[in-house]
Amino acid sequence: MKWIIVTGDSKGLGKEIVKQILSDSEYGVIGISRSNEQSVLELIDMYPKRFKHLSFDLEKVMDIKELYTKHIRKIGPIYGLVNNSALAYDDIISNLNVESLERMFKVNVFSSMHLTKYAIRDMLLNKIEGSIVHISSVSAHTGYKGLSMYAATKGAMEAFSKNTAREWGSKGIRSNCVVPGFMETSMSASLSNEQKDRIYKRTSMKKETDVGSVASSVVFLLSDKSRSITGTVIHVDNGTI
């Protein structure tokens, strides 16, 4: 079984990524999120041998070592990691709150780096040429009012991914980023229809990004079909301009 770790597996993009990975019987998924949503319980019922869910708060960065050694390592060899989970702290920079900013960096950056550390160690131990995919954001490439701090976390992960690719490419371990545009998910649920309309008008296709299309791009990067792709950033954003 080829095990893929997916954070934020319980809803939105994470849930769709998990479903698409599990459509191939060659793979199993280790899902990580704080809550047991109904969708997670349904996946456990559908794929009792190929889907394992671990309830864990990614803000607890220092506990990730224990999460790996006591739980993840015992499930099976890791072939891929999708750092999808994210915390959005939206506000203009003049209102910066250090505590909120630190929480966001813990979830979006530090925990992703730690999981990458243990995924790579697992791949090296098992002599696996694995794939790591980080979910970035279009806000790291074009400005949106109130998203400067959130965008900073995604920009950090893009820089981290490119250098990870350089460090471990000789071992066949790849690292890439997928940059989704604005999707109809829980993270955008607080936006008004007027706000969404303004955002969608900034894209070439004048509509929201399809969640399934983003997930398919992630699954492609996890697969052997993308074996020559590393250190890159793939935009799935309806042509944001």
**Helix (H, G, I), strand (E, B), or coil: what is residue 130?**
coil
Which of 53-62, 149-158, 203-212 shows the lowest mean pLDDT across its residues?
203-212
At residue 190, the pLDDT reads 58
At residue 182, the pLDDT reads 85
Residue 129 confidence (pLDDT) above 80: yes
All structural domains of the chain, each given as residue ranges with its CATH number in brackets, are 2-236 (3.40.50.720)
Q: Is 150 a catalytic residue?
A: yes
Q: In this predicted model, what pLDDT tens digit does every residue of 18-67 receive, in sequence order?
A: 999 999 999 999 999 987 778 888 899 999 999 999 999 999 999 999 99
Residue 204 confidence (pLDDT) above 90: no
pTM comes to 0.94
- Amino acid identity of residue 131, one-letter, is S
Closest CA to 86 of 123, 124, 129, 140: 140
Residue 188 confidence (pLDDT) above 70: no
For the beta carbon of residue 200, count every other beta carbon within 10 angstroms.
Answer: 17
Output 146 or 189, whichever has higher pLDDT.
146
What's the rounded Cα separation, in Å, for the pair 149 and 84? 18
Mean per-residue pLDDT, 8-14? 93
Give whole-number Cα distances, 143 to 103, 127, 161, 241, in Å.
22, 41, 21, 10
Please report the DSSP string for 174-212 in residue order. EEEEEEE--BSSGGGTTS-HHHHHHHHTTBTT-SPBPHH
The answer to whether the CB of 3 falls within 8 A of the CB of 30 is yes
Output 197 or 70, whichever has higher pLDDT.
70
Q: In this predicted model, what pLDDT tens digit does every residue of 163-183 receive, in sequence order?
A: 999 999 999 999 999 999 988
The answer to whether the CB of 80 falls within 8 A of the CB of 73 is no
At residue 186, the pLDDT reads 60
Residue 159 confidence (pLDDT) above 80: yes
Output 110 or 145, whichever has higher pLDDT.
110
Q: In this predicted model, what pLDDT tens digit does every residue of 81-101 receive, in sequence order?
A: 999 999 998 899 999 999 999
What's the rounded Cα separation, in Å, for the pair 130 and 143? 33
> One of 68, 79, 118, 150 is an active-site residue; which one?
150
At residue 185, the pLDDT reads 66
pLDDT bin (cut points 50, 70, 90) of residue 192 is: low
Which of 127-131, 159-163, 195-199, 200-204 shows the lowest mean pLDDT across its residues?
195-199
At residue 66, the pLDDT reads 98
Residue 146 confidence (pLDDT) above 60: yes
* First-residue to last-residue Cα distance in the chain: 41
